[in-house]
Every structure is written in C-alpha cells, then in structure tokens.
A and B are shown apart, each in its own frame.
Chain A
C-alpha cells in the first residue's frame, strides 16, 4: 500500500529535515523526503494493513521516529564518509561492549562485533550490489537498540547452529521413566485439558509462562522486556498460574471427571504426563507472522 507523502504539509517536511540533521550528512530535503516515504509505507504508519493513514497520523508517525539515527544510518548505507566517521566514533565501542555483554565472552564478543561491523560497512554483496544492513533500519527505535538486537539475533542464531552440530555422544541418555501410577486414560485426559487451557491463555500470559518457566528468565528481565515493574510481573504470573489451573480443572470436568477426581488427577507425577509444553506454546499463533511474510 503506497500512501502519498504529506505534500499537503511542506512545512512539516522542512521541519523534519532540519530536525534530523540530514544536511550534515549530505542528504538533501528530497532525499530525506524519500526516506520518510519509504519508512512510512513499509510500516503503514503504524496502522493495520487495511487502514489508510491520515496526514495527522502520518505526522504523528514521523514525529515518533528517531530521525537523527535514521538519517545517519541511511547516510552510512549510502557510503557518506562523514557519516561513517561519526558512526565509528559514536557506536564502535558501544557495539563491542554490547557484543561482549551478549556473548558473555570478550573474544567471542569482539568477534561478533567485528563481524557485524563488516556487514554494516557493506562488505557483503548480493547480486553484485553492496548490501548494508543499516538500510533496513527504519528509526522505530534507537539505532543503538537496533544494533544490540541485531547482535543478539546473530548470537542466538549462531548458538543454535552450533548446538545442532554437537555430538550425540556428549548427550546423556535419560533414564527410562517408571511406570505411571494413574491410568493411561486419565493421563491423556490431563494432557488434552492442559493443551486446551494453554491455548486459551492470552499472548501476555503465554509469554510470561514461557519466559519464566521455559527460558528461566528472572522477574526483572521479564519486567524490563514488558516495561513494567517486576512486582507486576510476579502478580500477573501468579494470576496466570491460578487461572491456568482452574481452566485445566474445568476442562477435566468437561471430560467426565468430578471436581475431586480432577484435583486428584492433577496431583499425578508430571513425569507421567507426556506433554510437551514448549511445543504446545510454540505451535500456537505462528501463523500471524507467516501470513505477513507471505504477503
């Protein structure tokens, strides 16, 4: 969806051009205008895909962007020397420190930072064209945050690739599970009830459960991710657990068990329940971004 640029408000364009400092990186007003058009059309000005932004919504979207970082990144992507000098002076050392903090290792961190720095400089080419990751930066957040996120993505992807290359000899074979204490029918009933209860949780509760129980994140880490106090995270987590248990009991009751029998069934050894919670959580709602990717 292409939305015409805010030609009706040239004063805003001029103001944004001055505020961004694009002139310092050799970007003319028309260049800045095109960058803004590209960013706005890519994000549809923060609206749903089927909505069309009004000039006021467009102005609000542009005001929310990190314009100085955006024009700096685009100037670097275009190869402006002064922009690169400024980028190196400002972001080089923070980039290395962030990489070290993410990897937890100095050498690994420096290697990770150098690798990303090379990509940013445009050492890689595709179809004979120099590609710079900074060109994908759209100014929704800070440039430093974008760089950290990029480093984290690369580190996680690298870690996942290397784990898959581990030898099976290094993995201990788990001991065989003992015989279950309750019937197979009851266990399958619990599995279905749990699966249904997890699917009925909203996205925030599922994120809380996954981040806390699957990833082992602390309340503080989750709180910083969500932008709330850790006490709020704790309270929401407790409420999510309580609601999940009630929902599981209700689902078991719908299967024909009494309330007391359902509670006794929940006291079963979790090792007897062949339920992959991680898989359950990850199987849901993957379609959202898949559909958007297919567009």
Chain B
C-alpha cells in the first residue's frame, strides 16, 4: 500500500495490475473493487491501462500475425469441411430426410392408386348407375363384379355359365317386385316361384356342394343326374349352350333363389365357352336349369339388363293383371309369362302386350332366351314360315330364340315368340 502526494491511499501498482489481469484473489479483488468504487483516480488508471492493452494488442497482432503465419504455419487452424462441423447433427438430419422421403413416396403411391381406381371405376359406375335403383337385386349381390371383367373378380363357379354366348343372353333371377322392364337386348329374367317341378328335380339331384364366397350368396353346384350324363356329347352340347356353367344359388322360399353369371358378350366369353374345363358342368347344368325355379341370372348382366329396359323400377304390367312369373327378351321383343301360365309378347319395350295362343301343353312356367351356335345353326319356326320348315338349316345364320318350359319340363322353341314348336 502506498500513499500519494495528495495523502490519498490507493492500492499499489502490483495489486491494481493483478486486479486488471484478474490474478488477484477474491479477497483482494473485493478490496480493490471497493476502492475503485470510491476512487476516480484508480478507475482512471485501470481504464488507461486497459486502453494501452487494446492499443498494444491491436498493434502487436497487426505486426506479429504475418510473421507468425509465415514462420509457423502449423499454428494456423486447419479449416475443416463444412460437414465436419455438423458432427453428430447429421444423424437426426438423415433420419428426418428418410422420413420425409418415405412420406412423399407413400403419398405419391396413394395418389397414383386412387387415380387408377378412379379410372377403373368410372365406366363401371356409369353402368351401375341405373342399377342402383334396384334395391333387392343389389341386396342379393353385394359384391357385384365389374361387368367388363367378370372372370377376374367372380369365382370360377359363378362365371362358368357364360360359355358360348355369342349374343349373350343373360338370365337374371329376381323377385317379382324387382322385375325390370324388358329391353331389346337378349336377357332373361326368371322369377323363382318355387315351382313344383324344380323342387322335385332338386330332390333328385345329387346333394349340392356349397361354395361359399366371401361377400356373395352361397353357391351350390348341383350334380347332374346319372341318366343325363349318359347323353351323347353332341346333344348335350346343343342343349347346354349358355346354360352351361351356370351356377344355381340356394333356394330360400319364394324369394330370390338363384343367381348365376351371364357375362357380357364378347370374344373373350366366346373363347371361354370352348375351354374343355367348362364342358362337363355345362352339360349337367344345362339340363337342370329349366327344372329349377331359381333360374339363372347374370350378375354382371343384372345391372345392364335392368338399365336397358328403360323403365327401371317399373314392374311389368301384363294384360292379365297377374304377376310376372318369367321374362325373356331378344330380337327387340319381350316375352313374359304370368303366374297363370299365359304368355305375352311385347314389341315396344313392354308398353303394349299381345297374348300368345298356347301352343304347348300344360302350364308354361319359364321363358328363356337361347342362341344358336354358328356350328349348329337351327332353323326355328317363325310366324312367316310354317312350323314344319323350322328345321335345322345348315346355312341359317345363328341368332337368339326363345324357349318355353312347362310344368312337365317339356320345351318349346320359337324365334319370334308367336309360333312355337316342341323341342
């Protein structure tokens, strides 16, 4: 400690320097600080000393840095790569990048899948648009396959009945309340009225083998009778035609009892008819089909047939006033059988009906549409030609014709629905 000439007491140079260089202990630091609080002279000394340090350091660094850098290059700090400065930060960054990339990929895949689904369902929706009005039919087939590709989404047993349908007559089994107006297209709508003959035939048939398909009604494959199996293959093929490979659903009271697939016409279905795997079943089922009340109806054709009537949702009103038991359409004509067995024909999409004189025995219970295959074209009787001339003509063009099945399981055929001959 020293005194100045003005009899003031100040910390000595040593202590002030130690304080300025932060080398003093805590006790000495507090003493100096307390003195600095009251001593302007020592504050000024410290401030000037600090000022000299700044000036000296700036000057010293300006002169020394080049020399030091030239003499000792190792002292200069090596600049590291920018990514080295990230150190451990790259791990969360990489994880975040992967997450973002995955999210983008999933999003793009979903968008693409949705777009593809929209493209596929657009035509289907246009076809099913009118079919949506038929609630019972939709309930009967909750999983309606696309009409354009029935073989992809429908089980094999359901699409087997589409073989050899050049003009694609389709049979749709429905309830009376869900009957659709006829159209110019070849379609058959059969109402399962629990016919006695069918019941007997069902009893004679082999035990049905259930085929349960998810989302669809139970499907039964009915084994053909032994006697029918022994028929000539050519005759069976002639009879089967589009009846082959139809699958009959289980009968439940008087309601919708049978549903089978009659796919849309086209070369694909024609080719499918020639496949050997379909021939045995088609033979047996073609014999059974008229015997069963729950006759066939194509799932894929259901909506289209319903829409083609043009009177969707409007039940057919026959002149007899009775309920419609069976309906078939072909050649711009609609044939309908009422519950009493009377046959009516309409040439204007079901607006006007004309009764047909019974040319068959017993009571007609079922009307069907058939197609003459090109290889075995059969000349069916027409109103213009005598019934006797309706003999198979080798050069006759193939085309659809009608069949009537009575309660005795006898069959009559006609091309115009007016003239019928026994088969």
Binding site for B on A (CB under 8 A): 46-48, 64, 94, 97-102, 136-138, 140-142, 145-146, 148-153, 155-157, 160, 203-207, 209-211, 214-215, 217, 221, 224-225, 227, 278, 281-286, 288-290, 292-293
- Apart from A98-B53, A286-B39, what are 20 other A-B pairs with CB-CB below 8 Å? A98-B56, A137-B14, A138-B14, A145-B17, A148-B17, A148-B49, A153-B13, A206-B37, A210-B37, A210-B43, A211-B36, A211-B47, A221-B47, A227-B22, A278-B40, A284-B38, A285-B37, A285-B38, A289-B11, A289-B31
- Give CA–CA (A207, B52) in the complex, Å: 21
Tell me which residues across on chain B come within 8 A of A94, comparing CB atoms. 56, 60
Tell me which residues across on chain B come within 8 A of A64, comparing CB atoms. 23
17 pairs of residues in contact across A and B, judged by CB atoms under 8 Å: A48-B27, A101-B52, A102-B48, A141-B14, A145-B49, A148-B56, A149-B13, A156-B45, A206-B37, A207-B34, A214-B40, A225-B20, A281-B37, A285-B37, A286-B35, A288-B34, A290-B9
Task: Contact check, B21 vs A141: say whether CB atoms are below 8 A apart.
Answer: yes
Task: Contact check, B43 vs A146: say whether CB atoms are below 8 A apart.
Answer: no
Query: In this complex, which of A97, A141, A142, A278 has the most chain B Cβ atoms within 10 angstroms of its Cβ?
Result: A141
| B48-62 interface bits toward A, Cβ cutoff 8 Å, 1 = contact, 0 = none | 111111111001100
Task: Contact check, A149 vs B40: say whether CB atoms are below 8 A apart.
Answer: no
Residue of B nearest to A208 (CB): B37
Q: Which of B2, B14, B33, B54 contacts A146 (CB 8 A)?
A: B14
- Give CA–CA (A284, B38) in the complex, Å: 7
Tell me which residues across on chain B come within 8 A of A142, comparing CB atoms. 17, 21
Whether a CB of chain A sits under 8 angstroms from the CB of B321 is: no
Tell me which residues across on chain B come within 8 A of A146, comparing CB atoms. 13-14, 17
Task: Contact check, B41 vs A293: say whether CB atoms are below 8 A apart.
Answer: no
Task: Contact check, A286 vs B38: say whether CB atoms are below 8 A apart.
Answer: yes
Whether a CB of chain A sits under 8 angstroms from the CB of B66 is: no
Min distance, Cβ B47 to any Cβ of chain A, angstroms: 6
Knowing A225-B47, A286-B38 touch, does A46 contact B33 (C-beta < 8 A)? no
Knowing A215-B43, A288-B35, A289-B35 touch, does A152 contact B12 (C-beta < 8 A)? no
Tell me which residues across on chain A come within 8 A of B18, comparing CB atoms. 140-141
Tell me which residues across on chain B come within 8 A of A288, comparing CB atoms. 31, 34-35
Task: Contact check, B2 vs A293: say whether CB atoms are below 8 A apart.
Answer: yes
- Give CA–CA (A148, B23) in the complex, Å: 16
Knowing A153-B45, A286-B9 touch, does A210 contact B38 (C-beta < 8 A)? yes
Whether a CB of chain A sits under 8 angstroms from the CB of B156 is: no
Q: Which of A48, A101, A149, A214 contacts B20 (CB 8 A)?
A: A149
Binding site for A on B (CB under 8 A): 1-6, 9-18, 20-25, 27-28, 30-31, 33-41, 43-56, 59-60
Tell me which residues across on chain A come within 8 A of B6, comparing CB atoms. 160
Min distance, Cβ B7 to any Cβ of chain A, angstroms: 10
Task: Classify the interface of chain A: helix, strand, loop or mixed.
Answer: helix
Tell me which residues across on chain B come within 8 A of A225, comparing CB atoms. 20, 46-47, 50
Task: Contact check, A136 vs B14: say whether CB atoms are below 8 A apart.
Answer: yes
Tell me which residues across on chain A come within 8 A of B27, comparing CB atoms. 46-48
Q: Which of B14, B55, B56 contacts A140 (CB 8 A)?
A: B14
Min distance, Cβ A253 to any Cβ of chain B, angstroms: 26
Min distance, Cβ B283 to any Cβ of chain A, angstroms: 100
- Give CA–CA (A156, B13) in the complex, Å: 13
Nearest 9 A-B pairs (CB), nearest first? A206-B37, A101-B55, A203-B34, A140-B18, A152-B48, A141-B17, A98-B52, A141-B21, A207-B37
Task: Contact check, A215 vs B55: say whether CB atoms are below 8 A apart.
Answer: no
Q: Which of A46, A156, A283, A285 contacts B44 (CB 8 A)?
A: A156
Tell me which residues across on chain B come within 8 A of A97, comparing CB atoms. 52, 55-56, 59
Min distance, Cβ A147 to any Cβ of chain B, angstroms: 9
Query: In this complex, which of B2, B10, B56 has the most chain A Cβ atoms within 10 angstroms of its Cβ?
Result: B56
Tell me which residues across on chain B come within 8 A of A205, comparing CB atoms. 37
- Give CA–CA (A155, B13) in the complex, Å: 13
- Give CA–CA (A161, B38) in the complex, Å: 20
Tell me which residues across on chain B come within 8 A of A99, comparing CB atoms. 52
Task: Contact check, B43 vs A217: say whether CB atoms are below 8 A apart.
Answer: yes
Q: Which of A209, A224, A293 contacts B1 (CB 8 A)?
A: A293
Min distance, Cβ B33 to any Cβ of chain A, angstroms: 5
Residue of B nearest to A217 (CB): B47
- Give CA–CA (A169, B3) in the complex, Å: 31
- Give CA–CA (A210, B33) in the complex, Å: 11
Min distance, Cβ A281 to any Cβ of chain B, angstroms: 5
Tell me which residues across on chain A come within 8 A of B35, comparing CB atoms. 285-286, 288-289
Task: Contact check, B37 vs A149: say whether CB atoms are below 8 A apart.
Answer: no
Q: Which of B15, B25, B30, B53 contacts A148 (CB 8 A)?
A: B53
Task: Contact check, A149 vs B24: say whether CB atoms are below 8 A apart.
Answer: no
- Give CA–CA (A158, B166) in the complex, Å: 126
Min distance, Cβ B22 to any Cβ of chain A, angstroms: 5
Tell me which residues across on chain A come within 8 A of B21, comparing CB atoms. 141-142, 145
Tell me which residues across on chain A come within 8 A of B13, comparing CB atoms. 136, 146, 149-150, 153
- Give CA–CA (A223, B55) in the complex, Å: 17
Tell me which residues across on chain B come within 8 A of A214, comparing CB atoms. 40
Query: In this complex, which of A288, A292, A293 has the most chain B Cβ atoms within 10 angstroms of its Cβ?
Result: A288
Residue of B nearest to A224 (CB): B50
